[in-house]
Structure 1
């Protein structure tokens, strides 16, 4: 069903639906129209759930419907984000993107090992295969790409985290940096060649992205091979891939033309089936469903990370608002919350502060009960975000008037979406 943005411009067009996301006091007209498009495409599911008199007891829906709900939540969350929320979210997305890319390329490591490697304290893993793409070159290429992002928070966060990137130098054979950048260039060319029609919902554009990726030698999922082990043929599939390059550029493809509010990376979005079916065969429909299911999973993670960032930002504002030197302390706390553990030398580079100055800032955050300090395997001190307790409702500490009828209606609508997602078989 086609939907014209000009065909509905008042809340009455929701036909009785009580979603206060439609109110201009809370968010932009773009969010309002996106949810109207969702209603137009899935009228039975939308009105059946959000109009209480008609709501079924056991509601079943599809990944596409849930994607639209999650996209609406993300749009609203971005549009009403409190001070610091987007900075924390950007740092989180950088961390998730780097770790996802390293693991897709075949590197094996724990989260803790990643942070000590990033701090320059040890290698990323023990005994990595020499054929793997060098980890530092890979992460430098991604951070450099993010520095040029049209989303300012992502560009700023990557700039500062590049300064704090002290990982050991890779053992290079020559050409690794150029090779990594060529992967990103191929991904950019693939996305730039997609002719997706204007559509405020991302379903068709994502299907096109998955289909195009599956037809390339670089990004397609590899066929299984047979290895002879002790005279027995064993089926093996090489799971290493470079689809992270599509993930880090996917936000620019979907924002804002296809519903994503900002050009954020979408770690883990492009998950392909083993083989691309013939478009004329029944299996092609399954490939489309797999693309939408992968989109749902990715949006679900983005929504969760955005919620975490909002809660942490509210807590930081509350605990640091009356403290001296809170500007730099707040900047560091946001990086620790979003990205993860850092050591003193990294903080010096990130903040442009002296060692004594970093000590004062760290002590301030420890006194506020926001961070913890622990020793790595080689006795270096790492500082990580560890608040004693998190606020459950950001409005309690952000100065937002939670007694406003619009706010109450908005929160009730969000709770209903939460209930829908938890009752769905596609939830976490």
Structure 2
């Protein structure tokens, strides 16, 4: 992609994307031990949310955490044609357990234990269907032929083109169905691009510049038609998609560093700080958890959960509320910047009596001068 000739100093999109990749490489290499688990948990959360929405499920983020905790359904009246949400999330978490980036694999293992969502009520093949989508994504990526390149742009374009030609991932066209004797157009409700997104980091790392095998939720854009990896339109779409993905990682890493430092500072010299720090990382990166989830996640007893959550609460890191199901849910308190200090009050200036007398004398002198000048002009 060429720079806009009307703005000769404007960097090309590929340059901006390369700069973001460089920031990501440096950020991951210099990230603190406290930040990486938070980043891994955040990546998992975003991957699950994106996949569920790509499949056509409609829900709020708070409803997602309530569902993940086993306290409610994900949504009301989802079409039966959608992949069941629990099977979908289990397939993703299972895949992440085998990710080569250790923080992601460890976080996925722990969150699988804390995944208490109600069972999907279907025909029993939903788990196979979700895993089939993941295996199809593995096969598609393995079949992509291309040279090793330190930058990800051409590799991503080849991935997009391969997805557009795949029967598993290509855009689905609307179809006609008879409804009460009338032909009705049925549009596809979702797609399985999430399976490519969760593997995209493994595909781009380390051969194509990505420093860790992070999932890239929302990365894959399906071009129209049957393009190849050298199509300039596909290349532009790949650059734009990578720019968005790297921007998100950069933001997540910045927030993870901030939260990791805050957690470490808040738990400095406190008892049970090791387990409490681990729990705080999951609450900051993934989201709210109830007591039963924490027991499975950290491997502690119910009294142990109380000790850990009390420690975090006293440190000002979490808050606890009771859900409508009477479950105690613990959530990370987001960081809030300190309000700027108010400007110093200005002292009221009161001139002295001497200054007032001098001012009045000056004004009288000016008036006398003006009168004399006016009288002389009249005489002339």
Displacement after TM superposition at 1:224 (Å): 4.2
Q: 2:42 aligns with which of 78, 85, 92?
A: 92
Q: Work out whether 1:349 is the aligned partner of 2:299.
A: no
What pairs with 1:345-424 in structure 2 (closer than 5 Å)?
Answer: 345-387=292-334, 389=336
Residue of structure 2 in register with 1:252 after alignment: 202
Cα separation, partners in 2 of 1:297 and 1:355, compared to 1, 3 Å: same
Residue of structure 2 in register with 1:62 after alignment: 12
**C-alpha distance in 1 between matches for 2:178 and 2:15:** 46
Q: 2:284 aligns with which of 318, 337, 344?
A: 337
Q: Does the 8 A contact of 2:82 with 2:189 survive in 1?
A: no
**C-alpha distance in 2 between matches for 1:178 and 1:232:** 34
Q: Does the 8 A contact of 2:221 with 2:241 survive in 1?
A: yes
Displacement after TM superposition at 1:104 (Å): 0.8
Q: 2:60 aligns with which of 107, 110, 116?
A: 110
**C-alpha distance in 2 between matches for 1:134 and 1:172:** 8
Q: Work out whether 1:201 is the aligned partner of 2:151.
A: yes
Residue of structure 2 in register with 1:413 after alignment: none
Q: Work out whether 1:318 is the aligned partner of 2:247.
A: no
Q: Which deviates more from structure 2 when the two are superposed, residues 172-181 or residues 83-92?
A: 172-181
**C-alpha distance in 1 between matches for 2:189 and 2:126:** 20
Residue of structure 1 in register with 2:238 after alignment: 291
**C-alpha distance in 2 between matches for 1:223 and 1:62:** 34
**C-alpha distance in 2 between matches for 1:104 and 1:325:** 40
Q: Does the 8 A contact of 1:311 with 1:390 survive in 2?
A: no
Displacement after TM superposition at 1:228 (Å): 9.8
Displacement after TM superposition at 1:266 (Å): 0.6
**C-alpha distance in 2 between matches for 1:362 and 1:347:** 10
Cα separation, partners in 2 of 1:277 and 1:288, compared to 1, 3 Å: farther
Residue of structure 2 in register with 1:35 after alignment: none
Q: Work out whether 1:74 is the aligned partner of 2:24.
A: yes
Q: 1:83 aligns with which of 33, 44, 47?
A: 33
Residue of structure 2 in register with 1:302 after alignment: 249
Displacement after TM superposition at 1:278 (Å): 5.4
Q: Which deviates more from structure 2 when the two are superposed, residues 380-389 or residues 168-177?
A: 380-389
Structure 1 residue ranges without an equivalent (≥5): 1-40, 46-56, 393-428
Displacement after TM superposition at 1:108 (Å): 0.8
Q: Work out whether 1:190 is the aligned partner of 2:140.
A: yes
CA offsets 1:86-112 (integer angstroms, 9 cap, x no match): 110000011111111111111111000
Q: Work out whether 1:171 is the aligned partner of 2:121.
A: yes
Residue of structure 2 in register with 1:145 after alignment: 95
Displacement after TM superposition at 1:76 (Å): 0.5
Cα separation, partners in 2 of 1:211 and 1:331, compared to 1, 3 Å: same
CA offsets 1:129-162 (integer angstroms, 9 cap, x no match): 1111111111111111111111000110011111
CA offsets 1:251-303 (integer angstroms, 9 cap, x no match): 11100110000111111100223x226569xx942232112111111111111
Aligned residues: 338
**Greater Rg, structure 1 or structure 2?**
2
Q: Does the 8 A contact of 2:162 with 2:228 survive in 1?
A: no
SS at match of 1:384: strand
Q: 1:269 aligns with which of 195, 219, 222?
A: 219
Cα separation, partners in 2 of 1:67 and 1:121, compared to 1, 3 Å: same
Structure 2 residue ranges without an equivalent (≥5): 340-380
Cα separation, partners in 2 of 1:232 and 1:60, compared to 1, 3 Å: farther
**C-alpha distance in 1 between matches for 2:110 and 2:254:** 23
